[in-house]
């Protein structure tokens, strides 16, 4: 081979080497970019998964809290229902209690019916104690107590016998009752004006 041909061959080889080097550098650059892109994709996938996991965790916690509130609410409603389940029966029994009290007041005046009074009184006390065990309580109201529209039912107003009785209870017409914490009948009273 001639010198020119060798020189041309060397030039071509060096050009080929340069081209190969450039190609390898580009390939390395592309591989590096692909690697970086894959890492970014992995990170973004990890972040997406973390975000999804956090969203599911929040959703679970909200659902769990809602369920706990539901359990508390239904338990409270059930307890309230048990407390007032006999409310209809108690309300129906109140006129019977009133009749017993009237009978006892009437029999007390008759001295000849002492044995009858004792028998009616025993039955009345037994009825009261049975109803108390079921949660019925009398609302205590006395003459001279201050009238409260939230706790008493005014049947009528009469002139007060004295100035200190104005706005106070003069007489109790009907006793009031409560079942547990709930008032099932307000006491009916007469107030002084």
On whether both 41 and 54 belong to a single domain, the answer is yes
User: What is the pLDDT confidence band of residue 12, given thresholds at 50, 70 and 90?
Assistant: low
On whether both 79 and 150 belong to a single domain, the answer is no
Q: Which carries the bigger pLDDT value, residue 128 or residue 21?
A: 128
On whether both 124 and 176 belong to a single domain, the answer is no
The domain total for the chain is 3
Q: Which string of b and e fits 137-157 if b means at least 16 CB within 10 Å?
A: eebebeeebebeeeebeeeee
Nearest-angstrom CA–CA distance, 91 and 94: 5
On whether both 52 and 111 belong to a single domain, the answer is no
On whether both 67 and 147 belong to a single domain, the answer is no
In degrees to the nearest 10, what's the CA dihedral of 143, 147, 150, 153? 60
Q: How far is CA 119 from CA 122, 129, 145, 153, 168, in A?
A: 5, 16, 33, 33, 36
Cross-strand partners of 139? 176
User: What is the pLDDT confidence band of residue 10, given thresholds at 50, 70 and 90?
Assistant: low
Q: What are phi and psi of 186, to 5 degrees?
A: -80, 145
Determine if the pTM surpasses 0.75.
no
Nearest-angstrom CA–CA distance, 93 and 118: 21
Query: How many Cβ atoms are within 10 Å of 186's Cβ, its own excluded?
Result: 19
Range of the domain at 38: 1-85
On whether both 31 and 104 belong to a single domain, the answer is no
Q: What are phi and psi of 152, to 5 degrees?
A: -130, 155
Q: Which of 85, 120, 152 is the last residue of a domain?
A: 85
User: What is the pLDDT confidence band of residue 13, given thresholds at 50, 70 and 90?
Assistant: low
On whether both 171 and 94 belong to a single domain, the answer is no
On whether both 12 and 65 belong to a single domain, the answer is yes
On whether both 187 and 173 belong to a single domain, the answer is yes
On whether both 152 and 129 belong to a single domain, the answer is no
On whether both 130 and 147 belong to a single domain, the answer is no
Q: Which of 85, 116, 151 is the last residue of a domain?
A: 85
On whether both 24 and 80 belong to a single domain, the answer is yes
Instruction: Report the percent of the chain where pLDDT is more than 70.
Output: 90
Q: Which carries the bigger pLDDT value, residue 60 or residue 3?
A: 60
């Amino acid at each position: 081979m001639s010198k020119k041909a060798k020189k041309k061959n060397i030039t071509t080889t060096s050009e080929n080497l340069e081209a190969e080097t450039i190609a390898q550098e580009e390939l390395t650059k592309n591989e590096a970019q692909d690697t970086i892109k894959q890492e970014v994709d992995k990170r973004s996938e990890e972040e997406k998964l973390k975000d999804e996991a956090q969203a599911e965790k929040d959703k679970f916690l909200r659902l769990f809290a809602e369920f706990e509130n539901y359990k508390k609410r239904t338990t409270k409603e059930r307890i309230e229902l048990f407390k007032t389940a006999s409310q209809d029966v108690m309300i129906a029994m109140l006129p019977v209690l009133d009749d017993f009290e009237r009978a006892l007041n009437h029999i007390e005046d008759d001295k000849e019916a002492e044995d009858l009074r004792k028998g009616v009184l025993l039955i009345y006390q037994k009825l009261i104690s049975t109803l108390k065990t079921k949660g019925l309580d009398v609302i205590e109201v006395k003459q001279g107590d201050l009238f409260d529209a939230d706790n008493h039912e005014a049947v009528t107003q009469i002139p007060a016998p004295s100035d200190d009785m104005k706005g106070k209870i003069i007489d109790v017409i009907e006793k009031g009752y409560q079942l547990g914490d709930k008032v099932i009948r307000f006491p009916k009273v007469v107030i002084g004006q």
